[in-house]
Structure 1
Amino acid sequence: MKKLLVIDDDRKLCTMLSQYLGPEGFAVEAVHDGREGVTKASDGNFDLIVLDVMLPTVNGFEVLRHIRTQMDTPVVMLTARGDYVDRIIGLEMGADDYLPKPFNTRELVARIRTVLRRANQEKEEHAVAPSSKKLVVGDVEIDLGTRNVTCSGRPVELTSVEFNLLEHLLRNAGELVSREDLCKKVLGRRLTSYDRSIDGYISKLRKKLGHEVSGIERIRSIRCVGYLYALTNSSEVHVLEGISCSNTVSI
């Protein structure tokens, strides 16, 4: 049975979630203010945390910041409906997904299962002996085994979702990738109306890698369609096995 921590000051909602999620195979513990949430998250071995933005004592963003400095436990944030700023901030700070209030409990369960499934897949990949394969596009290099990233030789810290998003963009560098495809391949779900998760992660990648490469926009937004990672005149997509370049793929 998966252990969930719900951090929300709405006690009725917490009780309802405990009653609903139990039969779905989740053991739920709930706390009702931010400071207690930080302590509980640090002390407990939880599989996932459901975190509300609006909390007494310490708000949800600060709770998330504390969590991310200590652990990589998946976090699904609850935000006010229509407040896109809160959602983008949460994603940029390391939340794995968000759900606006009020929400359908079945949708919450679906989101929780998707995030947990993605986290489990990543753990299984890490458990396999690391490969020396690297993907190089321009000034960015990612190690597919260790999941380390460098940009112009400097290390770049990415969350697991950011890494997966960057890898997909690099493999398709120079080509338009739709938001629907990114949502399916990176987040493991279909794109829905008003879902801006991918946009939030793209914004974070731009900040971490730099908005431009060789004087052109690194990740270009194609309005209402998707994103395109830049291939400069001197850029190629290389897949390197160890120190051999025999498997180099050029686009």
Structure 2
Amino acid sequence: MEKILVVDDEKDIADLIEVYLQNENYTVFKFYIAEDALRCIETQNLDLAILDIMLPGTDGFAICQKIREKHIYPVIMLTAKDAEVDKINGLTLGADDYVTKPFKPLELMARVKAQLRRYKKFSNNDGSPATNPLLQYENLELDTASYECRLNGKPVALTPTEFSILRILLENIGTVVSVEDLFKGVWKDEYYSKNSSTITVHIRHIREKLHDTGEKPLYIKTVWGFGYKI
């Protein structure tokens, strides 16, 4: 039974999310304030977090940042605003996805399941063999069997979302992969959005971790108007 953290100061919303998660047989740790959630992060082995951005005192961004200091499990941000800056801020701090209030509970459950599937696969718990276990380009290696990334022989810490994006690009070396295909390849067809900021922010994170942020990147190249390619 996966353990899921839920943090929202709106009691009705937190309680509703809890009910839907429990109906899916997840173990729920529900809190209305950030301080209680931060203690839970330190004491529980969680599998996913759902964080409201607007909290009294410490906000959801700070909680997300705290999680990313030690953990790679998925983080879904809840925002009452459909503001691009909130989404980008959350992704920049390491969130994997965001849901805008008001939301449909079943849509949130679909996103939770999608994130947990990828996290389980990333953690190598599904037991499925990789068809092409080692993907390589120049000094970059992605081991899809052990879910490890190495650059110049040194490990690179990627989140499951970053790993999935890089894997798709390495599986298509020399071919431009559109933002839409990347989005659908990572999140499947459940909630594709024409908004490309999600992929853009994750690509920036990957480039930073590969020390590949110059004007002429060695690994991930932007093909303006089309997408990205290795």
TM superposition score normalised by structure 2? 0.83
Q: Which has the larger radius of gyration?
A: 1
Residue 195 of structure 2 aligns to which amino acid in structure 1? Y
Deviations 1:28-87 (Å, cap 9, x if unpaired)? 332122222111122234332111122223221221122222333322111243222232
Question: Secondary structure in 2 aligned to 1:174?
Answer: coil
Counterpart for residue 201 of structure 2: 200
Distance 1:193 1:153 in 2: 37
- Conservation of the 8 A alpha-carbon contact between 2:120 and 2:126: no
Q: Structure 1: any 5+ residue segments left out of the alignment?
A: 230-251
Offset of residue 134 of structure 1: 3.3
Q: Match of 1:227? A: 228
Comparing 104-113 and 132-141, the one that deviates more: 132-141
The unaligned stretches of length 5 or more in structure 2 are none
**Partner residue in 1 for 2:213:** 211
Query: 1:103 aligns to what?
Result: 103
Cα RMSD over matched residues?
2.9
Question: 2: distance between equivalents of 1:143 and 1:24?
Answer: 32
Q: What pairs up with 1:1-251 in 2 under 5 angstroms?
A: 1-124=1-124, 134-190=134-190, 191-194=192-195, 196-209=197-210, 210-212=212-214, 215-216=216-217, 218-229=219-230
Range 128-137 or range 21-30, more displaced: 128-137
Partner of 2:56, secondary structure, is coil
In structure 2, do the counterparts of structure 1 residues 60 and 141 end up closer, same or farther at CA, with 3 Å as the change threshold?
Answer: same
SS of the residue aligned with 2:79?
Answer: strand
Matched residues in 2 for 1:124 and 1:217: separation?
29
Instruction: State TM-score, norm by structure 1.
Output: 0.77
Paired amino acid for 2:18: S
Alpha-carbon distance between aligned partners in 2 of 1:110 and 1:132, rounded to the nearest angstrom: 28
- Count how many residue pairs are aligned between Structure 1 and Structure 2: 228
Q: Deviations over 1:183-213 (max 9, x none)?
A: 2222334522336322221121122221248
CA 13–197 in structure 1, closer or farther in 2 if over 3 Å, else same: same
Cα gap change, 1:45 to 1:149, in 2 (>3 Å) = closer
Give the stretch that moved more between structures: 191-200 or 173-182: 191-200
